[in-house]
Each structure stands twice: as C-alpha cells, then as structure tokens.
Copies of this chain bind each other. A is one copy, B any other.
C-alpha cells in the first residue's frame, strides 16, 4: 500500500492516454480502440498495475462480494458446501467473504457484515435468529437461507426434501420389522431437524407405527452421546435409531459398539442423514439419506446471483430431492 501503489493515473501517464481510457480498458464491454487498449495494457504490464476493485465497488455500488455465514465446520457437510460454493462463485466473478457466528455473537457479526456492502448473503447457519435474517433482508441485499427454511421471511431458501428423507428412513426401518424405533433429533429449533423428524414420524404413522422414544442431540457429538445413553438405558432397549445427521450418528455408533458391546446392525440398526464422505468409510458403512450438496450449491448460486444481477426478482424457495443410500448399518426388509 503506502507509497508503492500504482494507480490508473500512473498508467495513463506512461501510456500517454487519459485516465478514462485506462479505466475503460479494464472495464469489460467499455469502448476502447484496439490501439489504445494495447498501449494501456503495455504500460500496465510494465508498471505492474492492478485495478483497485474496492474503489470500483464504492463507485459502482457492486462489490462482487458474497457474505457466507457459517456456524461451525465440524459437521463435514459444511466444508464440502463451502468449498463448492466458493468455487462456483469465483467462477462467476464473485468472492466469498466468510463470517463465523456463535450463538453469542450473531448480532455483532451480522452488523459487521452489513458494513461490507456485500452483493448477497448466504446464511448456512442452522439457527440464526429470524430477527437478524429479517434485518438483513430489510437492507435490500438479497438473502438466501441455505439448508434452512423460514416461510415468514422475505428471503430465498435452498433445502433438500428433509421431510421425504425422514419418511423414507421410517419406511425402511418399519418394513425391516424393527419393534422399538427411536429418534435422536438435532437442534430442535432448526428446520432441518424438525422436518427430518416430522417426516420420520409421518412415515412411521403410514406403517401404523410410532416412535418408541426420542431425545435431542443438538447436532453435537456430546449431545448425541447423551441422547443415545438416555435411549439405550431405557428398560426397553431400542432396536433401531434414526440419528438426525451423520456427524452425530458416528458418535452414536462408536458409543454403542464400545460402551454397550452391541453389534450394528445385528443388535441395533442405525441410520443417519447427509451422506457425508465418512458415511461411506468401511468402519461406519452408514445407511443414510444423501443431501444433494452439488445441486444445492448450484441452486444457491443460480437463485442468489439472479437476484443480485436482475435486482427485482422475487424470492424463491428450492427444495431438492434427496436419495436413500442403503449401506450396512441397518437391517433390511
């Protein structure tokens, strides 16, 4: 910075053209003669000039920055999503500005984020307060909820069909003849957990069955272990558990095998949700529902950038189909 910065004025001087000509050369679609352009490019090259995109953002009102809010990256569904999202956005000329939120600092982080003149906001946090999301929407900046749905808010959303996924898992477990089917929820105030649970209950009801017991794991390893102990320690031990995401399911499987000495699936069936890479690992070989990460990212980018680039586009809610992935952790019908 300080002294060394080369500006468009420096380039103009060396190329013996106006500063406007330099600016036009670096603005896609602006009208510059091939000759002028060549001189500018040559001078820029010699001086090592790089346009200051922040100045461009200030004047054009478009920063080409997309804020991505995430809460934590230990559920391995999110790193994969973040990677795909960044690549897709980069491919379209946008850059990800990353914001990590805690339950405790959400407000502070959102206020900070709104100062960056981002062109769009992607919230990939399971439980950001609706108030804050609404406040973001009020600024006029397009907002998209990723893997979450809040009908009352004027924002777009991309989710997978959690209801249907839960339902299919219920059918699978019921049809295999399990007698004491339990459910470990995630964060109870998250729409993913609610929908997966609701779909699961519905699917059981369709087979004339109900859940034997349930508990909440809060989408954390520790919470899942506590919840699993509660369920397994009941007088009637469960013979199947649907754990609301894979990340918790792994912890539950480890617990069951190590502390209870039970075999999976002979003594107890476990099913998860997400199909993160580890679900395919031989040691878990987890029956689960695949959230279509690639498709969700594609939809996210398409919807958000359409709103960013065409301004007045109405909010949209995309619900992508999920897919049952049958592996070895649950008995089959």
Which listed residue, B112, B258, B282, touches A282 by the CB 8 Å rule? B258
| Given A80-B74, A281-B250, also A96-B97 (CB < 8 A) | yes
| Chain A binding surface SS class | mixed
A54-B116, A95-B97, A283-B284 known; A83-B72 Cβ under 8 A: yes
A111: Cβ under 8 A from any B Cβ? yes
Which B residues are CB-close (under 8 A) to A2? 61, 140, 311
Q: Within 8 Å of chain B (Cβ to Cβ): is A100? A: yes
Q: How far is the CA of A283 from the CA of B253 in the complex (A)?
A: 9
Instruction: Assess the A53–B100 pair: CB atoms within 8 A.
Output: no
Contact B74 A63 (CB under 8 A): no
**Which of B58, B73, B86, B283 has a CB less than 8 Å from the CB of A55?**
B58
Q: For residue A65, which residue of chain B has the nearest CB?
A: B97
| Residue A230 interfacial (CB < 8 Å) | no
Q: Which of B52, B90, B258 contacts A58 (CB 8 A)?
A: B52
CB proximity to B under 8 Å, residues A212-268: 250, 253-254, 257-258
Residue in contact with A4 in the complex, picked from B116, B140, B281, CB distance below 8 Å:
B140
The docked-state distance in angstroms from the alpha carbon of A54 to that of B65 is 11
Q: Report, as a range, how many residues of chain A touch the other chain.
A: 35 or more
Q: Is the CB of B97 within 8 A of A109?
A: no
Chain B neighbourhood of A208, CB < 8 A: none
- Would B63 and A73 count as touching, CB distance under 8 A? no
Having A76-B76, A258-B282, one finds 12 other A-B pairs with CB under 8 Å, namely: A1-B117, A4-B139, A52-B58, A52-B115, A53-B117, A65-B97, A74-B80, A74-B277, A78-B79, A90-B109, A95-B116, A97-B98
Contact status B95-A100, CB under 8 Å: no
A278 at the interface (CB under 8 A from B): yes
Q: How far is the CA of A141 from the CA of B78 in the complex (A)?
A: 30
Cβ of A99: which chain B residues have Cβ within 8 Å of it?
Answer: 86, 90, 95
Question: Closest CB of chain B to A182's CB: distance in Å?
Answer: 21
- Shortest CB distance A295–B (Å): 19
A82 on interface, CB distance cutoff 8 Å:
yes
Q: Is A57's CB within 8 Å of the partner chain B?
A: yes
- With A52-B117, A53-B115, A79-B76 already in contact, the answer to whether A62 and B1 are too (CB < 8 A) is yes
The answer to whether B97 touches A54, judged by C-beta atoms less than 8 angstroms apart, is no
Decide if B100 touches A87 in the complex (CB within 8 Å): yes
